[in-house]
A and B are shown apart, each in its own frame.
Chain A
Amino acid sequence: MTAIAISNQGLAIAGGFVILAGLVSFALRLGVQTKLWIASARTIVQLGLLGLVLKWVFEQREWYLVTAVLVSMVINAGIAAVRRTERRFSGIWSSGLIAVSVSSVLTTSIVLTLVVSIRPWYEPRYAIPLLGMVLGNTLNGLSLCLDRIMTDLDEKRDVVEGWLALGASRWEACRPFVGDAVRTGMIPIVNSMSVVGIVSLPGMMTGQILAGAPPEDAVRYQIVVMFMIAGATSLGALLAGLLAFHRLVTPNHQLDHHRLRKLG
């Protein structure tokens, strides 16, 4: 059993919803019409292109093509995670990228090889959506974590330096802030794990059910995905927090807040 394909006519009807949103903006003079048209156009173009690329990759089923897609997904996620933060330090891009790639690749490959046990591992129908789910959710936690540790080390530097001046090591002085940052990064996934199925029906499960999968199978997949996201987010946030710590605190146990700059 497969899902009923959506006809062009059907797409056009769905487009009517965007026009409705535009009318609301126009009537209330919200001024977001232009943004709305551009966003809608981007949705069509980006997803259209994605569809073409995925179709091609699915047909070719070459490991190097799948790998190229996966790598570009990881890089984009790393950039997106850093871009959302309000402060920068030299090395923040590589830190974000390392945190995103290690955490997502580790969890996804374990799921692909040991949980779904798919052969070959690069089977694009599994590898690409699973990595995509993990990336889309971890980058949120990661940017929250990075933002929090940068804000704390910047705004509460008197506390950090106060402990350093009393003989604390850099880790002793910064540990509470690294901990707070990791905790902040994990809040979204912990929250969504507690309400999933009660308040929200996750997109992936919805998709599988629409595609004709038995709900109990879809549920199993969803549980695995939530756990993957939880693992990847905590690992990614921990890595991001530690990398930021190492960049901002010197081996001489000094807080180098001059490396931090606020955007805007």
Chain B
Amino acid sequence: MLLRARDLRIPEKAGESPLPGPINFAVDAGDRVTLTGTSGSGKSTLLRCLAMLDARALGSIHYRNTSVSGDAVPAFRRSVVYLAQSPVRFPMSVDASLRHAFSFATSRDAFDSAQVSKLLDQLKLSKAILNRQLNQISGGEAQRVALLRALLLKPTVLLLDESTSALDAETKACVVETLAQWLANGDRAGVAVTHGADVWGDEVTRRLHIIAGKTLEEKTS
């Protein structure tokens, strides 16, 4: 069991909680999960809770069968990387933002320029983008830069919130291909919130549907 959520819920007044829960579910190595639901059903909130980013959430998150809390959280987030729906425009250049992620105490590896070049190619981004400011690139470019930044960390689990929404079909195909390569490499898994076509291509192993932040339906296809 790579990632497991137990009794995940946000306790707020009735009708005000985005995730009344309790939600239980687990992700195994090799899982390629899609998470669907109507808008406001709590799918983005659930993804944030899985990355332990919502301070209101109760319940527990387990990574490789160990409950995560306190100072173990940053290292956990290094392995289980969450990408927000709108890519974050850090106030710096693309290159600086990629390098900054390697300045944290949780960073074990050195910054790998060769890997950056390889991912830029795969994601159909030109090398020149490295010197541009994050607030000056397009939405589609920002989404791919965010994915590149996440993949550089060599995560075990990716939590993607509509990470291809701003991409055209051709670019989307590159992203799907890049993700497939990443998944093929070892004990990895991904959970993606998606509206239509999903980022796991034809490789989806599980389709989950969330209703009113309470129930997770397993859809068989």
Contacts and interface: CB of A to CB of B under 8 A. Distances in A.
Nearest to B57: A254
Chain B contact patch, size range: 20 to 34
A231 to B, nearest CB: 31
Interface in A130-165: 158-159, 161-165
B78 A169 contact: no
Contacts of A168: 74, 101, 104, 106
Nearest to A166: B101
A163 B88 CA distance: 9
A167 interface: yes
A163 B73 CA distance: 13
Contacts, number: 83
A218 B187 CA distance: 74
Interface string B86-104: 1011110000000011011
Contacts of B6: none
B156 to A, nearest CB: 12
Given A252-B52, A252-B55, A254-B55, A172 B104 contact: yes
Contact of B82 (A165, A255, A258): A165
Contact of B75 (A167, A251, A256, A258): A167
Interface string B103-133: 1111100000000000000000000000000
Nearest to A158: B88
B83 interface: yes
Contacts of A88: none
Specify which of B51, B73, B90, B91 lies most central, judged by the most chain A CB atoms within 10 Å of its CB: B73
Contacts of B88: 158-159, 161-162
A253 interface: yes
A175 to B, nearest CB: 11
Given A161-B53, A253-B73, A253-B74, A167 B107 contact: yes
A161 B84 contact: yes
Interface residues of A, number: 20
A129 to B, nearest CB: 44
Contact of B70 (A159, A161, A166, A251): A251
Interface of A: 158-159, 161-169, 172, 250-256, 258
Interface of B: 51-56, 69-71, 73-75, 77-78, 81-84, 86, 88-91, 100-101, 103-107, 149-150, 153
Given A161-B53, A172-B104, A252-B73, 20 more contacts: A158-B89, A161-B88, A162-B88, A162-B90, A163-B101, A163-B104, A164-B77, A165-B53, A165-B83, A165-B84, A166-B77, A166-B149, A167-B78, A167-B81, A167-B106, A250-B55, A252-B55, A252-B69, A254-B55, A256-B56
